[in-house]
Amino acid sequence: MTLTLQLRAEPPAPVDASVLTAEVSARDVLRCGRERLQVGDLFTVTGSVGDGLILDGDLRRFDGIGRGLADGEVVVHGDVGDWAGADMSGGLLAIHGSAGNRLGAAAPGARAGMRGGEIVVTGDAGEEAGAGLRRGLVAIGGRAGPGAGLRMLAGTVIALGGFVAEAGMGNRRGSLVSGASLTPLPTYAFAARMRLPALGLQLRRIRAVGLPVADELLAARWERWSGDGLELNRGELLIYDGESKHSGPSKLGLASSLREHRGGEAA
Amino acid sequence: MSFPIGQTEVVDTFAEAFPMRYTRVVITAATPRWAHEAARSMTGFATSVIGCKCEAAIERVLEPGETPDGRPGVSVLLFAMDREGVGKRIVERVGQSVMTCPTTACFDGLPGAEKTAPLGATLRYFADGFQSSKVIAGQRFWRIPVMEGEFLVAEKVGVEKGVGGGNVIVLGEDDERALAAAEAAVDAIRGDGVALPFPGGIVRSGSKVGARTSSQMPASTNHQFAPTLRAQVDDSLLPEGIGSVFEIVIDGVSEEAVREAMRRGLHAAAAAGAAQLSAANFGGGLGPFHFPLSELQDPP
């Protein structure tokens, strides 16, 4: 069974939407700026309580949608505000629209953020998507804003439209996947251009839950860059920029790398 | 006592089978060739739990649309006497025959099973600390960096109760006709839920428990069905005119899977000209699963 909340009118101030779970009722209270409103004041509530929640409308003023989700599904038709999916530990948050800042990210000062589950966003995401990610999957159909995967511990952040800038700073063991060309941070080092079976599975998974993943991505070889070199250097940045283009180090660059490597050995 | 299936006489006896534990793995690769190579290697020397510690065979070929990663695949069934045995053998065989094989990945073919055995959870140590894992759709996979690229393997595989030792014995006037009938039976039997662990699905050296001349031998030749010995032993089971015998051993995921596999095998062998059909048992005292051939007279 599924509960559906249809937005009736844009709220007058930002709303803490973390109470919007599959068990929510029209009488539950939401914080809207300094006000307290009932869910029924903002939404038309239909359906019955079960293991799923559908939110419908322009929810850009709603922060923390899906926050702390542990199981079940929250599906949103429309854009959402900041902190969507923060502190998730399981379940699926599917956003058919764009997300604000700090999608699935750790709270300020917290060492780890999301610990499991899946977030799928068909549009774009704002700054610091997946920051502090501990485990789980954040998949963005469009572009991810600056600072995606900031200090992530593990897990995966996929941006089919690519990352804007500074992706994976402080990344320890996490995977960042860029479906578009990208210049990695200088603390990342090129490893190889290769097919990655785990990535193939992840791409199939996000396709199954609603992201349009092109067949060419499934069959592609991806550049693998290791980093962040300032941390464990156990993380990775995977980049697809088209099979037809040659990428990775040029022959000159490869020779240069080999010289550096040999020099390092001699030292 | 006997009854006919088509033109073939069927001895009114029963096959005796026993409980085993099994797992299923799905091996995928870049091409059908490499999936098959891995599966053949993995199921090699896995004919009899007595001599090989497990029994394993290719269950069927999988189309790309049927596999978790959308590549060509093969499903393999592996049987042992208990879950611990399944766990040891699957790690050995996937480690030596699948991980080593170009382009392969290995998946749990029994997702959701209540009992499991570790697979990638053990094999990951081959990565010498460079392993990493991903949880995808609720299942954990291990990524093992290898010289080719990366080997992806499921953390664990399901283990279920199965049935081992179902069988059909195919008798022919000569080796050529007996083998042709046995081959037809194998072709009919193979499919979902059954494994035929012997080479090509056929065993020409069926055995009995123990040996007369050596206490070291857990099994010895089934002299009752050996044509060479017809005039030499008192308890030969070979009727006049039989020159060669083959056995098809069937392990299955359930009693029903074995029963229906035997039914398919009996009718296909009869249609292919078997002179007589029978089954092996140990008097009924070894295994709790009995498959009377008389219950398999109706065609599949």
pLDDT value of residue B57: 98
Q: How many CB pairs under 8 A join A and B?
A: 43
Do residues B242 and B172 make contact, with C-beta atoms less than 8 angstroms apart? yes
Partner residue opposite A200 with nearest CB, options B69, B137, B151: B69
Cβ contact B135–A201 (<8 Å): no
Please give the residue of chain A at the shortest CA–CA distance from B145.
Answer: A196
Reported ipTM: 0.90
Average pLDDT, chain A: 90
Nearest to A197 by CA among A221, A173, A163: A221
Q: Are B8 and B143 in contact (CB under 8 A)?
A: no
Whole-number pLDDT of residue A243: 54
User: Tens digit of pLDDT for each residue in A181-193?
Assistant: 999 999 999 999 9
Q: Can you tell me the mean pLDDT for B70-89?
A: 98
Q: Say yes or no: A198 contacts chain B, CB-CB below 8 A.
A: yes
**Which residue type is seen at B21?**
R
Strands of chain B, DSSP E: 2-5, 8-11, 14-28, 55-62, 73-80, 105-108, 115-118, 132-136, 139-145, 150-154, 156-172, 194-195, 207-209, 219-221, 244-252, 276-278, 289-292
pLDDT-derived band at B78, boundaries 50, 70, 90: very high
Average pLDDT over residues B199-227: 93
Supply A232's token pair.
């464990």
- The CA-based angle B151-B153-B159, given to 5 degrees, is 155
Separation between Cα atoms, residue B76 and residue B53, nearest integer Å: 16
Instruction: Determine, for residues B149 and A195 on separate chains, whether the beta-carbon distance falls below 8 Å.
Output: yes
Q: Distance, in angstroms, between A171 CA and closest chain B CA?
A: 14
pLDDT digits over A185-226, tens only? 999 999 999 999 999 999 999 999 999 999 999 989 999 999
Here the tokens at position B291 are 């498959």
The rounded distance, in Å, linking the Cα atoms of B102 and B105 is: 9
Q: What is the distance between the alpha carbons of residues A253 and A261, in angstroms, rounded to a whole number?
A: 12
Each residue's pLDDT tens digit, B251-271: 999 999 999 999 999 999 999
- Lowest-confidence segment of A23-32, B40-49, B221-230 by average pLDDT: A23-32
Residue A95: strand, helix, or coil: strand
User: In Å, how far is B150's CA from the nearest CA of chain A?
Assistant: 7
Is the bond leading into A228 cis (omega within 30 degrees of zero)? Answer: yes
Residue A72 dihedral angles phi and psi, to the nearest 5°: 80, -170
Mean pLDDT across the stretch B45-51?
94
Residue to mutate among B101, B106, B107, B135, with most A CBs inside 10 A, is: B135
Which residues of chain A have a CB within 8 Å of the CB of B137? 205, 208
The whole-angstrom separation of Cα B127 and Cα B125 is 5
Flag if A196 and B105 touch (Cβ within 8 Å).
no
A142 shares contact with chain B (CB less than 8 Å): no
Rounded CA-CA distance A131/A103 in Å is 8
Element (H, E) at A52: strand A52-56
State the Cα–Cα distance between residues B56 and B34, nearest whole angstrom. 18
pLDDT band at A1 (very low <50, low <70, confident <90, very high): confident
Is A173 in the B-facing interface, judged by CB distances under 8 Å? yes
Return the CA Rg of chain B.
21
- Judge whether B132 is closer than 8 Å to chain A, CB to CB: yes
**CB contact, 8 Å: B54 with chain A?**
no
User: What is the pTM for the complete model shown?
Assistant: 0.92
Average pLDDT over residues A21-47: 92
pLDDT for the residue numbered B245: 98
Q: How far is A147 from chain B (nearest CA, A)?
A: 22
Is the CB of A201 inside 8 Å of chain B's CB atoms?
Answer: yes
